A and B are shown apart, each in its own frame.
Chain A
Amino acid sequence: MSMLDTLLLISLLTVLLTGLGQRVTFIGWIATLLLTAQLLTLLLMGKLGYGGEIIDASFGFSILGQPLNWRYDALSWFFALITIGSALAGSAFAAGAWGDQYRKEGGNPGLLQFSIALNVLAMLLLLGSGDLLSLFIGWELVSWASLLLMVIAGGRASEFGMRYIVYATAGAMAVLAGLAIIFQLTGSFAYDDLAAVAPALNTLQIVTLTLLFFFGFGIKMGLLPFHLWQADAYAETPGPGTAFLGAISSRMGLYAILVVIIQLIGLVRLIEIEIPYSFLSLRDLLMWVAAISIIIPTFIALRQSDARRLLAWHGIGQGGYMLIGLLVLDPYGSAGGLMHVFNHATYQAALFLSVSAVIYRTRTSDLNRLGGLVTRMPLSFLVMLIGIIGLAGIPPMNGFVSKWLVYRSLIIEGMPLLFVASVIGTLGTILSVYKLIHNTFLGQLRLEHEHIREVPLSMTIPMLVLSAIVFITGFMPGLVLDWVGSAQVALGMPQLAHTLGGVESTQGSLDMIWVCSVLFGGFAVGALLFYSGNKAKRVHQLDNYAGGHFLTADVRYHYSDNFYAGLMHHIGSWYRGSFLWLESSLISVVSSLSGGAQLLYNSFHPALYLLMAITLSLYFFIG
């Protein structure tokens, strides 16, 4: 029995126990404990992260002549670490006071824990897949497991879950078609066979396979134009579930793209294929899809007035960075892309948890109904602050390092437009995350929120741990880059040479330890200057400049709605909802076709059809 078996067994045990113990009040803690056990088991497999031997599962099946097997390499381990870590954060957050309140409101925390555990199991299976068939099985398991997590909130969540599953099934079907083509070409579903045959494939086959897999798996990542489902579906999931989904769920798509397109089919082939009548190669096309997936969702996020939706839209945008980095095909870009998976998971989970904490206390995530909470929930504020700095990719948090790697590879490889696109995404992110923190925690505290308190310890600890990780891995990115390097090797890519503080290179290096130290030194200087002045007296928020007006508590003195009015004045008309229009017209087409199809059965002249059919078929053969 290998370590991998143990891991999967514990995961299965988690699913079973949480499934059976729905009525146990402390089920959340059991789930947390078991997830911790999973994390420990994974850490015992930690050699993988430093270039250890591949660990095979001792079980395996052979179905219809096709062997199915599971194994973990450095890449799987890296993704599994993120998966279990974010699940643990979500589960621990939900285990205590949050779960109690959720139960009081008619929710079932046990079911939530069960769905998280189920998702983890499905993801662990997907990450361990050793051939295309087990990959597809894992893929579908993940898809359907996350549906469960999305719809347990009921109400509108079910609608969004429904929408998700339509997209997800469409993606899965594309993948299935791709698998069938591969099976036809190689006669098996083994990775090695595909890798062996890939160099011999012709252009049409490569293009077909790439597009099928890219969009099939890309739907999970919310790549354009299949991005519409994600934000709503994630946002309506109960708090900790959102954190888990937002942190890792979409990255399964990235994992699959990595394995199939980058590892097996090979990017080199994609670069060779020129798209007629354009300057682009197939790889460039994919990169542009990624770039547009950065920009458009980010700017959609800017328009959101719901904290969870805002974050969820950013989740899509950030996925683009990972993909773009990985598609550059140099050690910097791919390291940046992979590292961003980790970084994104940490800060996104922290952000979602922080928003959940706000919802826990205020019952709303409407950005126009919040404000000034920093004095009441300082720890949640701190978590959100660290999270948004990470999300915006500003030093000293970890998001900066991974984005820096991506930028740097785009610069050195000479891809100006893609670089600009990714920077525009970052700038848009800065705008919208400031709106998030401003409308939630800064500004005027509303009367009805005067008496709320910080969330209990069971919720703050997971958040704080996550934000600590965000900072520490920003301060010492080498910790993560070790794992990333091993994953690069597992993918067959050149490994990034790195130090504890970042990278050393003649073409521009980065040493976050120095940068962060100097930054904090700078803060110290700033503080010194600041506190050299006379001590400041705290004043009430209504002791404020209002052009001589006397402010009273009932006056809403908080600027939150249409926060970027000037920008929207200019770019507002660019939001046309074209994709929504496209989606709804597709639905209407299906709907009218469906109505037309039913006509055939609704009326009473079947004999006529029979006659027509005979005539046609006779014509078919005789005529």
Chain B
Amino acid sequence: MAEKEGKEKWGMVIDLDICTGCQACVTACSMENNIPFVGEDEMAYGRGMQWMRIRRYWEGEYPEVAPAHEPMLCQQCGNAPCEPVCPVFASVHSEQEQINLQVYNRCIGTRYCANNCPFSARTFNWFDYELPAPMNSYLNPDVSVRRRGIMEKCTFCVQRIVKGRQNASASGREIADGEVVPACAQACPTDAIVFGNLSDPESRVSQIARSDRAFRELEELGTDSRVTYLKGGKNYGS
């Protein structure tokens, strides 16, 4: 096991120059990860369950006004503030993938992790959100359906990472670059989301992350987040 360590360090790059803000990643994530919808009143009260949200601020004044879209998801911090505060180890760092996991069946719902997340990336199951039959038929069997009272958040589609690793090991090879793709990156119509192994300096994600447009959200907090953004902007390169 020990020699295996350090082989995987999953990360993501989101290029804000080509992210259009179309929300396809949001829907893709929700459909892949059995995320419940909550309805109008709950959405209005800030209880939407989306693991991925597109933050939209406005820049400028009319007529030079434009929205700034930024997909916001769990940044899978290396030094995750959500982890140590959990009394029951429900929010832990995975040794193998080097990502931050929420172990649903261990969560007791203190919501401390959510308070301590500087990215507001965590969502809480305020109720049991049941899908009326036969809508429950589309639930993804690889992803737990969460019950009321527990915390959840983006997992980097860990079920796909696991499946990718199993496939690779079944054919006796390493996981190829681009073999594991989370639902958001898979859907993204402009390929603005690139996912891969940051511990491999040659992987596509590592290469893009070295761009001089790269920045990380709230980097000054030192959480060592694994999601890198590439600065967008009207004037870049033109």
- Is the pairing of A and B real? no
B-side residues, CB < 8 A to A, are none
